[in-house]
Amino acid sequence: MAYVNENYLKLPGSYLFANIARKVNAFKQEHPDADIIRLGIGDVTLPLVPAVIEAIHRATDEMAKAETFRGYSPEQGYDFLIEKIIRHDYNSRGIELSKDEVFISDGAKSDTANMQEIFGPDNVVAVTDPVYPVYVDSNAMAGRLGDYDSKTGKWTNLVYLPCTAENNFIPALPDKKVDMIYLCYPNNPTGTTLTKEQLKEWVDYARENKAVILFDAAYEAYITQPEIPHSIYEIEGAKEVAIEFRSFSKNAGFTGTRCAYTVVPKSVKGYTKSGEAVELNALWNRRHSTKFNGVAYIVQRGAEAVYSEEGQRQIREVIAYYMENARIIREGLASSGLKVFGGVNSPYIWLKTPEGYDSWQFFDKLLNNAHVVGTPGVGFGPSGEGYFRLTAFGSRENTVKAIERIKSVRF
Amino acid sequence: MAYVNENYLKLPGSYLFANIARKVNAFKQEHPDADIIRLGIGDVTLPLVPAVIEAIHRATDEMAKAETFRGYSPEQGYDFLIEKIIRHDYNSRGIELSKDEVFISDGAKSDTANMQEIFGPDNVVAVTDPVYPVYVDSNAMAGRLGDYDSKTGKWTNLVYLPCTAENNFIPALPDKKVDMIYLCYPNNPTGTTLTKEQLKEWVDYARENKAVILFDAAYEAYITQPEIPHSIYEIEGAKEVAIEFRSFSKNAGFTGTRCAYTVVPKSVKGYTKSGEAVELNALWNRRHSTKFNGVAYIVQRGAEAVYSEEGQRQIREVIAYYMENARIIREGLASSGLKVFGGVNSPYIWLKTPEGYDSWQFFDKLLNNAHVVGTPGVGFGPSGEGYFRLTAFGSRENTVKAIERIKSVRF
């Protein structure tokens, strides 16, 4: 009899975006003429930049001729892309990496979800709260989190590190020993960041406790303040304890084109039960080459073009466009008396719902009175209750209109 | 302390292709002028067909404009592709599927490796031997296979179903009860097939034992004999017990472009320890949407073009080219007295090494005396010892030349 992985049966339904869709549809039926503006979803809207488009066209033409056709990519990705990543994203910040420490993949979602597979089942996992749900769900599927308690919205064996206005969104070191720590900075969903000093506390903690930090830097390109670290490897000692996830989704609009990369320095170790140190790089390489078959050549060429001079200029313009949206949202909401966070080094604006509104009540109010759709903070974890996420990925026109409307709502 | 998944440490090194490369390089150093022909690797060499190229160019242009830009794909894939798959690959053979039973992915390798995640750890796994190593390694990583015995080349808890000339490459039903059965037909590496009647025995076995068949049909497009089933769902009852993997890699040259799909009918069930039936479709959907983020839009448009009238005509020509190579290899080797299998409904030719040669000795002989590189059968499992794989994916010229050379070798 084929038994199922019963950990899957413990997962709560992923109702967040389904609930949003249901509420929006109901509203539409009642108000068919309402001009609904969606600032809820973390998906980009501006097209791929010309340098990327040209590179994909060129690579596609190569695929049309036997002499230049490419079959299987190396599972780890082509050197032409890995070399540019290392030079541009790391060497420029004083970080040295070897080519076999960088793994090209189809997405930071896949990598952050799959990385836990190389770890044993007994590790204690810690996540900031609120959090990107993939870190939690992938560990729950692997049986690392115990049981889900629908009353608290928490897994029994998961360590939650609350990040709220009260602690200025800076997670405190856990009082219980943890082994795998997911950190995402600039943060999704709160849009907040950590300074080098704050991040160093975590690196030191991991070194002392032989823990591993899974650092998601998918929003790195949105950092505007020079003192904020772009890579965890800017922190001394991080190469001993941290794996870093990066993506072309948000810096170059690749959400529908799929390319990302993950850095696993050879100096990062895990341990056997008998205490022997094991290079995680070797385990991830084995996982990546057994359960994955490389990214499309044409897509890797597109990603490479992001690093060309024109590519860099073009994506900077796109990011600046979104960040101007972020400014409009942030300042607009603040001027109407709402408490806002993020939006300075991030396309996400996290706001405290006004007195008397929980996340979903605020959602309803905004939908009904401003015809604006955002994301209830509680959808990202218990500490997201009483918060709400707006994103800067809309069009300028819609963003301006949405904020004007929100400003006219009386809470 | 972060513990590693110690199952990874039990994996034997994947030395097959590394060993081949080492031997070829050593030979090259001694014979720098030798014209080495590689008929060893299962990678295609002909370019993407014009219909696919045009579709990718068109889709790329869509990605260049805000009005037609696409962000995140549905994780399960776009309906435009799923609908064509169902109509063309299934309805045409009398098989009905609903759209949410088909999952687009980046490769059959990923899917065949990942699918075991939705199953419990205690299932007994069976594979045909020789076998595509991914089925074995992915289950070993999940801890389902016990320990690897380097003397026998076998995992202690894995059930091997020998497929050799002695049983005409038809796997016998296991004498021990098994729960997850990997079948690949047309087979990699042997190139052999099963008739509907032979496949029905497995479907009946699975129904009787509540087992699940993981059916890899990646080479389906190479079937030339009308009586050979293209899909396991042509067998009565298979929709209750079988998951089917398909790919655009081998039928349309997508090894470097990455698109595949997996069919998980809602009627296929797994079981909890307490005996409750669970739809595997729901579990896979959860896995696919949590740990994967969809295939690139431009690639899905390319795959869609495979189903256009021109696309079909063009890929048929490519397949016919490879299959003519297969015929040349098969008949050429047979005429020189070698026993050959496969190559009729498959791009793989599996040959019995002559008396006195094991797989690696034959490899050395072929490299030294014919300057031809193939793949030693033992690399695919213990029952592959004494066999050797050649593939039809080379150029016509090289294929002809290689066979002429092999015919002149005295074994």
DSSP classification of residue B231: S
At A61, list the tokens: 């033409």
Query: Is A6's CB within 8 Å of B209's CB?
Result: no
Q: How confident is the model at residue B41 (pLDDT cuts 50, 70, 90)?
A: confident
Kindly report, residue by residue over B50-76, the tens digit of the pLDDT: 999 999 999 999 999 999 999 999 999
**Ligand-binding site membership of A109 (annotated):** yes
Question: What pLDDT is stored for residue A14 in this prediction?
Answer: 77
Beta-bridge mates of residue B351: B340, B388
**Ligand-binding site membership of A359 (annotated):** no
Query: Is A211's CB within 8 Å of B1's CB?
Result: yes
What number of H helices and E strands is found in chain A? 13, 17
Instruction: Tell me if the domain spanning B53-307 has CATH number 3.40.640.10.
Output: yes
**Ligand-binding site membership of B341 (annotated):** no
Pair B247, B220: CB distance under 8 Å: no
Residue A238 burial (CB < 10 Å; 0-12/13-18/19+)? buried
Query: Is A3's CB within 8 Å of B60's CB?
Result: no
Question: What pLDDT is stored for residue A284 in this prediction?
Answer: 98
Kindly report, residue by residue over B364-404, the tens digit of the pLDDT: 999 999 999 999 999 999 999 999 999 999 999 999 999 99
CA distance A166 to chain B (A): 30
At B100, list the tokens: 């949410």
Give the C-alpha distances (Å, rounded to integers) separating A329 from A164, A339, B41, B132: 20, 12, 55, 53
DSSP classification of residue B94: T
Query: Is B120's CB within 8 Å of A6's CB?
Result: yes
Query: A14-43+311-407 falls under which CATH superfamily?
Result: Aspartate Aminotransferase, domain 1 (3.90.1150.10)
What angle separates helix B16-30 from helix B359-370, to the nearest 10 degrees?
A: 30
Please name which of B320, B318, B293, B294 lies closest in space to residue B306, comparing C-alpha atoms.
B318
Domain ranges of chain A: 14-43+311-407, 53-307
The SS3 call for residue B219 is coil
Instruction: Tell me if the domain spanning B13-47+311-406 has CATH number 3.20.20.140.
Output: no
| CB nearest B47 (choices: A64, A255, A295) | A64
Question: What pLDDT is stored for residue A356 in this prediction?
Answer: 96
Q: Which chain B residue has the Cα nearest residue A292? A: B110
Percentage of chain A lying above the pLDDT 70 cut = 100
Query: Is B4's CB within 8 Å of A253's CB?
Result: no
CA dihedral sign of residues A309, A312, A315, A317: negative
| CB nearest B291 (choices: A14, A113, A295) | A113
Contacting residues of B for A258, CB less than 8 Å apart: 106, 293-296
CA distance B42 to chain A (A): 10
CA distance B129 to chain A (A): 18
Percentage of chain B lying above the pLDDT 70 cut = 100
Please name which of A117, A49, A40, A129 lies closest in space to residue B110, comparing C-alpha atoms.
A117
Residue A387 exposure: Cα atoms within 13 Å on the Cβ side? 31
Degrees, nearest 5: CA angle A199-A201-A204:
115
Question: What pLDDT is stored for residue A64 in this prediction?
Answer: 98
Query: Is A296's CB within 8 Å of B293's CB?
Result: no
Q: How confident is the model at residue B129 (pLDDT cuts 50, 70, 90)?
A: very high
Residues in chain A with pLDDT values less than 70: none
Query: Is B60's CB within 8 Å of A60's CB?
Result: yes
Question: What pLDDT is stored for residue B15 in this prediction?
Answer: 77
Question: What pLDDT is stored for residue A17 in this prediction?
Answer: 84
Please name which of A214, A218, A210, A167 lies closest in space to residue A189, comparing C-alpha atoms.
A218
> What is the average per-residue pLDDT within B147-174?
97
The number of angstroms, rounded, from the C-alpha of A291 to the middle of its chain's C-alpha atoms is 22
The SS3 call for residue A374 is coil
